[in-house]
């Protein structure tokens, strides 16, 4: 079964490469799939 790493994330090579001290990091997120739904927005729902 999968075992999580015991190394702190700050010490991982990819993390150090992506997030360098003193440099700005810009992220871009986009949906992999678009889902169409007929649900009302959360703020209009009643419990």
Average predicted confidence (pLDDT) for the chain: 76
The per-residue pLDDT for 47 is 56
The pLDDT confidence band at residue 38, using thresholds 50, 70 and 90, is low
pLDDT (mean) for 5-34: 82
Q: What is the DSSP letter of 22?
A: T
Round to whole Å and give the CA distance between 40 and 47: 13
- Per residue in 9-18, pLDDT (tens digit) is 888 888 888 8
Round to whole Å and give the CA distance between 13 and 20: 11
pLDDT (mean) for 21-40: 74
């Amino acid at each position: 079964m999968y075992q999580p790493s015991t190394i702190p994330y700050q010490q991982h090579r990819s993390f150090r490469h992506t997030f360098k001290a003193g440099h700005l990091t810009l992220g871009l997120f986009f949906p992999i799939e678009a889902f169409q739904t007929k649900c009302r927005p959360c703020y209009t729902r009643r419990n």
